[in-house]
Structure 1
Amino acid sequence: MIKEKALFNKDMGYSQNPAYVNFNGVNYKEAIVAPKVYGLAVATFYPYKKYQTLVVDIFTLGNKAEIQFVNNATKEELKTIILEPGTKLTSSEINVAGVSEIGVVVFSLESNTNKKGADVVILPTSYYK
């Protein structure tokens, strides 16, 4: 799991719900989850300029979603990832060299007419290097 400090708004946080932590036959015990996102969910990760790269392993259930990683100090977009439901795990490297705070913003890219929302899961195999 991402070892440095992380803060979450009310729509995102750590979860041990089996619906989110069991993936491809592996029980990860805990994950960072933005469940049933209809609008957006926000988190802040704090690499404190100690790392070069953030590697994220992420997937979505329910609706199509977008996750943006932003340097909070400069508002520079570090990476945007589009997540399709029913697809396998997306693994991505994000350059975080010199970044103290990373804004993580999750959006549902579909209307809420089906009442499912987007369940975005960041697995504990995500890490800084």
Structure 2
Amino acid sequence: MKKKRVALAICALFMLGGTAVYAASPQIKGTIQNFKYLLNGKSWNHSDKPILVNGQYYLPVSVVKEATKTNVTIDKAKGTVHIGENLKETPILSKQVTYYDAFLTRDKTYTSNFKEVIITKGSVPSVYLYPEAKYQTLVLDIMAIEEDAIVVINNQDKNEEMKSLLISKDSKEQIEINITGIKRLDVAIKGKAVVYPTSHYK
């Protein structure tokens, strides 16, 4: 097994026992391990390799995030490693949102008790969300109006479908989905629907 000696500043690595390590400035020597990963017993390829430091093995955050679907974010300014969901909910409308055959409206026909809501129109409307890999969970509050609607959530980073759901006419559904590591999402809604501002990341 070929090993590479490296000098590195370990900012966010996981010990193979579950202990999180954060070191802002000290430089220590480690050895990259050319191990093969097994995920749920099956071979799994990942470009980031474990590192051996003073007899302890460490896993890169990127490996932990993908394998466990647990979000990990680093706040260098505060010197913290945040693992899992955020306690504070972040409304989707407080972050970047773009639309295709959909728009924000203050029409009281659709808003209920809210100031504004997202409403879809046209044959293939989409609401594009940009969580930028900062969150673990997306919660969408959606109501189908005038007809049944099919909601399809796509991971635009990998161009793959994550979840689809049929919502009956005049029914409100809450959709919760793990979005760990995802930067861009396409929420495609086949039919007319309202997306409420209670929809959020956490």
TM over 0.5: yes
- Alignment partners' CA distance in 2, 1:48 and 1:80: 22
Per-residue deviation at 1:14?
0.9
**What's 2:37 paired with?**
none
Q: Alpha-carbon deviation of 1:83?
A: 1.1
Shift of 1:8: 0.7
Question: Aligned partners of 1:86 and 1:55: how far apart in 2?
Answer: 19
For 1:83 and 1:66, the matched residues in 2 are separated by 6
The answer as to 2:140 corresponding to 1:67 is: no
CA deviation profile, 1:74-123 (whole Å, cap 9, x unmatched): 12212212111132x20110111100000111113xxxxxxxxx2x1110
Name the TM-score, length of structure 2 as normaliser: 0.53
Tell me which of 99, 113, 128 is aligned to 1:8: 99
Q: Secondary structure at the match of 1:59?
A: strand
- Structure 2 unmatched runs, 5+: 1-90
1:97 equivalenced with 2:169 (yes/no): no
Q: Looking at both structures, which has the greater relative contact order when contacts are Cα pairs under 8 Å and sequence separation is at least 6?
A: 1
Instruction: Give the strand-richer structure, 1 or 2.
Output: 1
- Secondary structure of the residue aligned to 2:110 is helix
CA contact (8 A) 1:78 1:95 kept: no
**Are 1:29 and 2:115 counterparts?**
yes
Q: In angstroms, what is the RMSD of aligned CA positions? A: 1.2
Code of the residue aligned with 2:185 in structure 1: it is I
> Which of 132, 136, 147 is the matching residue for 1:52?
136
4+ long deviations beyond 2 Å: none
Bigger Rg over Cα: 2
Q: What is the distance in 1 between the residues matched to 2:161 and 2:178?
A: 10
Q: Which sits farther off after the overlay, 97-106 or 78-87?
A: 78-87
| Counterpart in the other structure of 2:199 | 126
Whichever residue aligns with residue 111 of structure 2, its letter is: V
**Unaligned stretches of 5+ residues in structure 1:** 109-117
CA distance in 2, matches of 1:91, 1:43: 16
| Equivalenced residues, count | 111
Partner-residue secondary structure (3-state), 1:62: coil
